[in-house]
Amino acid sequence: MIFHIYMKTNSYKWIAVGIAIISLITISYLIGQNSKNQNLSTSNPTSNIGTNQKIVSSPNPPPNSSPNSTQNNSSQITSTDIAPYLTGVVEVVCSKMNTSGVEQPNDTGSASLWSFSGGNYDVVTNEHVIAGNDQCYIYNTDVGAYNLDLSNIRIWNGLADEAIIPISLPSLQLIPDQTGLPPISKLNYGISSLRDCPSDMPQNSPVVVIGFPAFSSMLTHNLENIYKNEITTNGTVSGYDSSPANGGLPDSNYYISATIDSGNSGGISFSKDSNGLCLLGIPTWITSTGNYSDEGIVQNIYNILYKN
């Protein structure tokens, strides 16, 4: 009897110990879960935002069409984008008669080939590139050399620095032995049909400039520093020159970070937006913007094409 009571008492003891152990395990688990939930709440501050509040994980600024916009067009201009237009950019070489009555090379610049309705084939360049010269021709190692008809210069307006000059015949005066040149109608006029960029491309939009800058001079035809290599440079729209508005032109021109030099004047500048490559304008001049750097200016294509 005593043994039975002992065994029964001892059984209760072990049952109590088991219950205590299970209770401790349960309490530890609950404490651990509560601590984990607290940590998750601390690491995610939006979990306590009220239902009437808007959660924004990556805010985007609203579109801004103002010329002072800092919106970034993330598309980059590729070599594939500009390849169809490279042979549509040419060097302009002009000459002037010296005091001895001999024509001497005088000015160089750049131009782009344009085709207009009515079968007109022209170059578009800056007026200052051809001003004061007796004759000019265009040249590109992949195209050849063609004379320009300076007696029939046209303009869209008298406010921008522009000139539209008919292409006449292959030039044999300074570059002889040009055999097999394509007829004028077969040159690359793709630039003239390219879409114009919006008139206020945002800052930091990509820019490519194509032209024949002075730093690319090459020796050919025994005329040093006259002929240049075609050069492309990259940059962005870095700001806006609003001074043309004071002269009656409708839009701001562009400051660009792409490297340009004398000789780039009259060439071409592209940009790119969500709709693809577009025509930004014509590199025109370099202006000092600081003690140690120069900034190039591209005439807005809308200022070039403006009809007054």
Q: Are 206 and 271 in contact (CB under 8 A)?
A: yes
> Is residue 159 one of the residues assigned to a domain?
yes
Q: Are 156 and 164 in contact (CB under 8 A)?
A: yes
> Is residue 37 one of the residues assigned to a domain?
no
Instruction: Tell me how many domains the chain contains.
Output: 1
Torsion over CA: 173, 179, 185, 188 (sign): negative
pLDDT at 69: 46
Mean pLDDT on 226-254: 90
Q: Which residue has the tokens 């004061």?
A: 132
> Is residue 195 one of the residues assigned to a domain?
yes
Q: Please provide the average confidence, as pLDDT, over all residues in the chain.
A: 78
263-276 pLDDT tens trace? 999 999 999 999 99
> Is residue 190 one of the residues assigned to a domain?
yes
Q: What is the CATH number of the domain that holds 155?
A: 2.40.10.120
Q: Which domain holds residue 220?
A: 79-305
> Is residue 33 one of the residues assigned to a domain?
no
> Is residue 143 one of the residues assigned to a domain?
yes
13-66 pLDDT tens trace? 545 545 555 555 555 554 454 444 444 333 333 222 222 322 233 333 333 344
Mean pLDDT on 238-255: 88
> Is residue 123 one of the residues assigned to a domain?
yes
How many Å apart are CA 41 and CA 275, to the nearest integer? Answer: 44
Q: Which residue has the tokens 């610049």?
A: 109
> Is residue 64 one of the residues assigned to a domain?
no
Least confident of 19-28, 198-207, 276-285: 19-28
pTM of the model: 0.73
